[in-house]
Amino acid sequence: MDEAAFVEALRERGLRATPQRVVLHRILADQHGHVTADELLAAAARELPNVSLPTIYAALSLLEEMGMVRRVSALGGTAMYDPVLTPHHHAVCRSCGRVWDLDADVDDGSALAAARALGFQDGHAQLTVQGLCADCARRPAAAPAGA
């Protein structure tokens, strides 16, 4: 969604197109990977030096609610934000915390059917594979303490 359409979408919700929201939308639109709120704060601070982390989280929450970004849980529950909205799965390295999009079929029918049987509506499923990335798997194991 371009900036003008984003501003209009905000106005249709009765919300203001604050500089923080517009800058964050622009930064996310230029992303080609998963980013943390801290990384977004650093990028936004180049244009808005007084922007705060709570403001970034509030704007991310709004963008997530509007369907413009997806939150992915990474290492230790850290939230990563994914600007790719087409259905896809993720791989998360449990050592370094990096997140990758998986180029795999998204067949979530059985999970959604099970959720519907529980009364869930308008659901979507997302698979997250956790393991060691190639770089972390090549690293030698840490020496035991006291060795």
Nearest one of 46, 94, 106 to 70, comparing CA atoms: 106
pTM listed for this prediction? 0.73
Mean pLDDT (the chain, rounded): 85
For the chain, percent of residues with pLDDT exceeding 70: 88
Which residues have CB under 8 Å from 31's CB, separation 6+?
Answer: 83
pLDDT at 107: 63
89-93 vs 70-73, strand pairing mode: unpaired
Amino acid at 51: V
pLDDT band at 8 (very low <50, low <70, confident <90, very high): very high
The CATH homologous superfamily for domain 86-135 is: Ferric-uptake regulator, C-terminal dimerisarion domain (3.30.1490.190)
Tokens of 116: 């519907």
Q: Regarding predicted confidence, which is higher, 20 or 141?
A: 20
Are 82 and 72 in contact, with CB atoms under 8 Å apart? yes
Q: Please report the beta strands in the chain, taking only residues with DSSP state E, as ranges in sequence order.
A: 70-73, 79-82, 89-93, 99-102, 128-131
Taking the alpha carbons of 108, 58, 36, 48 in that order, is the dihedral positive or negative? positive
Domain ranges of the chain: 1-85, 86-135
Is 50 exceeded by the pLDDT of residue 7? Answer: yes
Which residues have CB under 8 Å from 136's CB, separation 6+?
Answer: 93, 95, 96
- Quick check: do 1-85 and 86-135 share a fold? no
Say yes or no: domain 1-85 is CATH 1.10.10.10.
Answer: yes
